[in-house]
Amino acid sequence: MDPKRLQLNLWTPSISSSSFSLEQNRYFSYCHLLSIDHKHHLPSSPSNLNATKGHRQEFLHLDLTLGPPPDPSSNPNPNPAVAAPTGRRARANPFQKLKEGKSETITAPYPWATTRRARVHDLNYLQSNNIRTINGQVECKVCQAVYTIEYDIEEKLKGIKDFVLGNRWRMNDRAPKCWMYPRLDNCKNCGSSLKPVIGKKRDINWLFLVLGQMLGCCKLSDLKYFCKHTKNHRTGAKNRLLYIAYIELCKQLYPHGPFHL
């Protein structure tokens, strides 16, 4: 190819270009200039060398007249309307500390309860201390007559243990209807249902409620209290917290299994 007939159309950077920044224009202009020499394999004639040198000097003059680029640290947030992203908010601790003046240890409200809130003794302790039966109070919903009911520990625990181990995987971490709506005994006076007597949270007879499968009679606040002091999550629907309460009490009675799955 005749170098005299080759016309070079050098691209000159546009300072007022809106699609590129000023620094990008200077960079691409220089790269384009170098690429043309390599692409067309221009001979190293004096005229071509002078033309290339002239263009490079023109580009150098333009670069010097524009001045140094601005310091990006001088304006870290050019748009004040857009706030800088903040870090993630720390997740709240689900196990809150006790209020001032409260203690995790209390006087054991029953012989089968420990000195820690919402905790009962395990089955080996009860048997070694000759605690075979427990009792609790129930009240008629209509005539408000109060009765004392006694449960055999081993007999009641066997039924609960067999039910949990046989149906746990189908519960999907939710209490079944028989736990949510327990079958209650009838009052001898009026025939109405008998509900368990539930007083202050620290005095709740947890072992009596689980043996009688009456934990479903507890309010949601009672179940949250239980989960709080047994280091379980207390958020969720009642059937979720009720399931946790049953499994946790089974673990307390059988600390070596088979409920630790």
- Cβ-contact 253, 157 below 8 angstroms: yes
Query: Average pLDDT of 4-27?
Result: 47
Helix (H) / strand (E) element for 63: namely helix 46-66
The strand pair at 194-196 and 133-140 is best described as antiparallel
The CA-atom distances, in angstroms, between 131 and each of 26, 48, 111, 118, 248 are 91, 109, 8, 19, 21
pLDDT in tens, 66-76: 456 666 555 55
3-state SS record for 104-134: CECCCCCCCECCECCCECCHHHHHHCCCCEE
The letter for the amino acid at 213 is Q
Please give the Cα distance from 58 to 67 (Å, whole number): 15
pLDDT at residue 103, as a whole number: 81
Task: Indicate the pLDDT class of residue 163, thresholds 50, 70 and 90.
Answer: very high
Give the position of tokens 């600390």: 255
| 68-121 pLDDT, tens digit each | 666 655 555 555 555 555 556 655 555 556 666 678 899 999 999 999 999 999
Q: Name which of 138, 122, 257 is nearest 205 in CA terms.
A: 138
Residue 239, amino acid:
N
Torsion sign across C-alpha atoms 94, 99, 102, 108: negative
pLDDT at 125 over 80: yes
* Element at 208 (helix H, strand E): helix 206-211
Q: Going by C-beta distance under 8 Å and a sequence separation of 6 or more, which residues neighbour residue 244?
A: 223, 227, 232, 233
Find the angle CA(14)-CA(17)-CA(22) to the nearest 5 degrees.
75
Q: In the predicted model, is pLDDT for residue 182 greater than 80?
A: yes
